[in-house]
Amino acid sequence: MISFDLSHAQIAVIGSGTMGIGIAQLAMINGHSTFLYDLDREKTQQAVDGLHQTFAKLTEKGKMTYEQAQQALSRLRIADQIEALANVDLVIEAVVEKLEVKQALFKQLATICNDQTILATNTSSISVTAIASAIPHPERVVGLHFFNPAPVMKLVEIVQGLKTPIDLCQALKVLMLAWKKISVLTKSTPGFIVNRIARPFYAEAFRALQEQVTTYEQLDYALKQCGGFAMGPCELTDLIGQDVNFSVTQSVYEAFFYEPRYRPSLIQKELVDAGTWGRKSKQGFYRYDDKNQYVTFQPQFITKPSFHADVQVKGAWAQCPHVLERLGLSHALASNDNIIQIDDVDLRLSQGESANIDYPNRKTVLMDWHHDFTQAQAVVLSHNTLCQADDLAKIDAFFAQQQIKVLWISDHPALLTLRTIVLLINEACEASLHGIATMEDIDNAMRYGVNYPKGPYQWMMQLGAEYVLATLNNLYAIYGEEKYRASLYLKQYMAKQQSVIADYSKNLTECA
């Protein structure tokens, strides 16, 4: 019977790369006797030297006292042979991301350690069930996926293999709480939570570039300004490494038996094939100097806007709160459509339509969603071919009155931010449909694992499930591709919501 009290566990970390060192540092700081093992002894010594430097810097910055740093370092043990790990309670491996390597390592550990030893893998996408299948007592194998850098990033994914008992997962949640981490529980499925649900953030960005609707600089600016993301997809993949991000996408795509939602991008493959991997190669989407600085996009204001037009407002604009106030518009006519009519041009909030396909007979401008219109500095717009240069100039001037910059892109259904967010929501719904994780854990995973401003379900509450579903249905109708098919979970959620509303209305009628 495995003991699930890990409060005083002896911990072994295998692998002295960046991730292994980070995990070892966490264990040491949190009071655990910690063994570090790597086949490469020179690399192990470099890791130890690095840990001493790290603790010295933490002391200099006042984040810990000299005594605390020395106590933490005194807990570190270097294992010259793997046999030295025989009596540890928890092994966390952080070796190369290959199934056969991890299986071989755990097979070896199974012959060295006793049956009580918990074997945790830091894999970011490999099946924990598959890793466990090769060893006796597979029930002691669990995923413990830290994010880089491990001492800084708050999230840890606890991955339950097919034979991993829930009690073991709960014990690791307690341990991670003691380490001041936010842990989420996920089933062993390709990409787990974060690396699965995040795929549309990259895929839809690369698709916009492949369809030539915008530039990578404009795209990054739009997702940051309008979506509230800390980094744009091109900046972020440059930071991660285009080769690494592409490899993860490929592995998730293959593991899901070539599900179209995860198909890799030819745009990214070109970068990888060219060796332009981002910051580490000094060129990816951006070019980097010796300090890893790069030039970002900054849109220009119209300095002296001259706006003269008749403006009429229709609809509630509920999906974009404060937009009318921000634009200096105080009254709207009741309508099912959200339209700001500027002379003979209809400005509409996008719901996944195509400006050219859906509005062939009216001058139409489609506006992307903005996460907080009270602070909006820019909006992303597209238009159909009926709009002329003077129409676009009029729209520019209309927004410039309120010090809002306009980013014009080609006709692109659901534009950039809305499209990205509804597909992230849809992917979260698919994960929920398959029982991968709870709504709360999905939201926490995306907020703390990749620093999204909101979790997918928080976005759905903000936008409204009906608006999300309508946008997906419009995308699916236009593209005819399975990747834009709305999740059954979302449809069922909508049906349930409508049923609740119908019952509420019926009760009100009966009471009256």
Kindly list the catalytic residues.
Answer: 124, 145, 157, 195
Question: What is the pairing mode between strands 339-342 and 345-349?
Answer: antiparallel
Q: Cα separation of 420 and 202, whole Å?
A: 9
Q: Cα separation of 271 and 265, whole Å?
A: 10
Distances (CA, A) of 124 to 179, 185, 213, 275, 399: 20, 14, 33, 23, 44
Q: Under 8 Å CB-to-CB from 322, ≥6 apart: which residues?
A: 372, 373, 374
By C-alpha distance, which of 275, 414, 288 is closest to 350?
Answer: 414
Q: Provide Rg for the chain, Cα atoms.
A: 26
Could you tell me if 175 and 142 are in contact, meaning their C-beta atoms sit under 8 angstroms apart?
no
The 3-state DSSP class for residue 431 equals helix
Could you tell me if 506 and 512 are in contact, meaning their C-beta atoms sit under 8 angstroms apart?
no
By C-alpha distance, which of 125, 274, 285, 147 is closest to 205?
Answer: 285
By C-alpha distance, which of 378, 369, 384, 373 is closest to 338?
Answer: 369
Q: Cα separation of 265 and 273, whole Å?
A: 12
Could you tell me if 266 and 209 are in contact, meaning their C-beta atoms sit under 8 angstroms apart?
no
